[in-house]
């Protein structure tokens, strides 16, 4: 347990450092978008490319991993949607609540943390989960968010039919995915792995330097983004009720990993080729806190961003304790 905690502690400590820096205004809030841009467009793509290029192509195309993860993600989305829609929440708020429950912080936190904890053999399954969530989970939830005909802030359109709004939102989600450099970095890394390509030494060294900066910069940025969300909620005086936050936090940190564990064990029982390392990696990815970019998506599509930001903050704080405990339970 102490060995696991020694590995996970620096990751959460960097998040705390970013949070305190922004909360105390040592880091100006206006600088956070610049930090985010550096991580998203430079450092993280280089890290993902290097991980992908260094991973055997068979591990990046593991159908059993994709099946287990996809079934778990869709089950969480369906369950949280059904739970939220029982109350007064709209399709828009319910959909982004489902997304924040099903979409872990894999890119900014999960890839470096799982690589440090489990070794290079965990990278393939982690990249598969990240690709699925970017392409399927997020696109599905954005489309579901339009079912009550909420006007889209991105395109500036007026409210329309539910079907037209959902189709338009799905197209916007796909366009956003195409503009996101991280899927392209993973794809290029997979191609480099398949072709056994290695970039020229000066280019490879430059990519390696940016990749080395990805983990600390991304974790520090997570903390800064969480602090900014907390300050904005304090300024507006809007705080989501605990009863609307806690169930989603439990779904993210307890239900999601246990569900993935059960699905993975069931897949192994029926003979699907899913090794122990992949199983552990999938469960630990599910146990990660919610992805911080869901807050930006919620704001962009007009959902209750205060609620989403509070869920992300709570899952990040709680995962400091829950993640090492689950990792120790999985040995």
| DSSP letter string, 268-307 | HHTT----HHHHHHHHHHHTSPBPTHHHHHHHHTTS-HHH
Whether residue 50 lies inside any domain: the answer is yes
Residue with tokens 């699925």: 132
- 198 inside domain: yes
Q: Would you give per-residue pLDDT tens digits along the chain (331 residues)?
A: 788 888 899 999 999 999 999 999 999 989 988 988 898 899 989 999 998 888 888 888 889 999 999 999 999 999 999 888 777 778 888 899 999 999 999 988 888 899 889 888 888 899 999 999 988 898 888 888 877 664 444 444 444 445 556 666 667 666 666 777 888 898 999 999 998 888 899 999 999 999 999 889 999 999 998 888 888 777 776 666 777 789 999 999 999 999 999 999 999 999 898 889 999 999 999 999 998 888 888 877 777 878 888 899 999 999 999 999 999 998 7
Number of domains in the chain: 1
The vertex-9 CA angle with 117 and 325, nearest 5°, equals 65
pTM of the predicted model as reported, rounded to 2 decimal places: 0.85
In a domain, 233, yes or no: no
State residue 192's pLDDT score.
92
- The reply to whether 232 falls in a domain is no
CA distance 189 to 323: 28
**pLDDT at position 182:** 83
At residue 159, the pLDDT reads 40
Q: How far apart are CA 324 and CA 16, in angstroms?
A: 17
Q: Cα(19)–Cα(129) distance, rounded to whole angstroms?
A: 27
Q: Is residue 180 part of a domain?
A: yes
132 in any annotated domain: yes
235 within domain boundaries:
no
- For the residues of 34-94, what is the DSSP string, one character each? HHHHHIIIIIHHHHHHHHHHTS-HHHHT-HHHHHHHHHHHHHHHHHHHHHHHTTT--HHHH
Let me know if residue 75 belongs to a domain: yes
The domain that holds 260 is classified in CATH as 1.20.1530.20
Q: Which domain holds residue 86?
A: 2-227+241-329
What's the confidence (pLDDT) of residue 169? 63
């Amino acid at each position: 347990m102490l060995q696991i905690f020694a590995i996970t502690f620096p990751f959460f400590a960097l998040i705390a450092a970013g949070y305190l820096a922004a909360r105390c205004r040592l880091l100006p809030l206006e600088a956070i978008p610049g930090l985010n841009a550096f991580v998203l467009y430079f450092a993280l793509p280089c890290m993902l490319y290097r991980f992908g290029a260094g991973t055997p192509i068979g591990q990046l195309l593991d159908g059993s991993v994709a099946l287990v993860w996809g079934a778990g993600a869709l089950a969480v989305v369906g369950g949280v949607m059904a739970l939220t829609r029982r109350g007064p929440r709209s399709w828009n708020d319910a959909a982004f609540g489902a997304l924040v429950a099903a979409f872990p912080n894999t890119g900014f936190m999960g890839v470096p943390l799982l690589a440090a904890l489990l070794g290079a053999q965990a990278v393939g399954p982690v990249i598969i989960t990240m690709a699925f969530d970017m392409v399927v989970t997020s696109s599905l939830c954005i489309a579901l968010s339009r079912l009550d005909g909420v006007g889209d802030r991105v395109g500036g359109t007026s409210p329309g039919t539910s079907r037209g709004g959902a189709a338009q939102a799905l197209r916007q989600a796909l366009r956003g995915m195409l503009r996101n450099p991280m899927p392209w970095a993973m794809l290029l890394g997979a191609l480099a792995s398949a072709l056994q390509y290695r970039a020229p030494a000066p280019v490879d060294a430059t990519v390696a330097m940016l990749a080395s900066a990805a983990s600390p910069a991304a974790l520090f940025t997570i903390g800064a983004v969480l602090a900014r969300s907390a300050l904005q909620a304090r300024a507006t005086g809007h705080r989501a009720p605990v009863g609307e936050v806690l169930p989603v936090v439990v779904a993210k940190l307890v239900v999601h990993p246990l569900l993935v564990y059960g699905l993975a064990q069931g897949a192994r029982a029926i003979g699907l080729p899913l090794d122990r390392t992949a199983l552990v990696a999938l469960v630990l990815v599910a146990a990660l806190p919610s992805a911080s970019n869901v807050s930006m998506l919620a704001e962009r599509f007009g959902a209750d961003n205060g609620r989403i930001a509070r869920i992300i903050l709570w899952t990040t704080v709680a995962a400091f304790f829950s993640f090492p405990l689950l990792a120790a339970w999985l040995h």
